[in-house]
Amino acid sequence: MPELKQLNAGHAPAVLAFELANRAYFAASVSDRGDEFYHHFADRHSALLAEQEAGVCAFYVLVAEEGSVLGRFNLYDLEDGAADLGYRVAQHVAGRGVATAAVRELCRLATVRHGLRTLRAATALANAASQKVLTKAGFVSVGPADPAGLGGKPGTWYQRDLTLRP
């Protein structure tokens, strides 16, 4: 059974392998991160760990039993009991409920580990799969998202009150 684990330095090789293996798949629905992301991955990974240590973000990886990364689930801008959620899952597990289960678990962790009460996530209007994940995980649409944050694509913000059961 896959397990949601908080990101650590040891995850770097598996996260990079995940990102490289799924690059074209991700680029079909979100902006590509560009070659620089991959060339400087070790520095970026270290910077994420520093942000996590500072308490402004919390990064998680969904790890398969054999150690490969199946997904990334991130909480950004933790402040005043709220945070933004971002996630991506590997193409070979997409459509199997993996993302929904991990987002639900992250909602639980957001409450018990990070003291959060509200999560928000933006998704492009064309990304029906992400909208379905968020809805199944108890999020509701709360209004338009700035296309600048979605690679120039129109989108919607979703929100979940973590004090309520989905």
Which among 18, 1, 142 has a CA at the least distance from the CA of 87?
18
- pLDDT of the residue at 36: 85
Spatial separation of the C-alpha atoms in residues 62 and 159, rounded to whole Å = 22
Residues in the chain: 166
DSSP 30: S
Low-confidence ranges of the chain (pLDDT < 70): 166
Q: Write the pLDDT tens digit of every residue in 66-96.
A: 999 999 999 999 999 999 999 999 999 999 9
> pTM of this prediction?
0.93
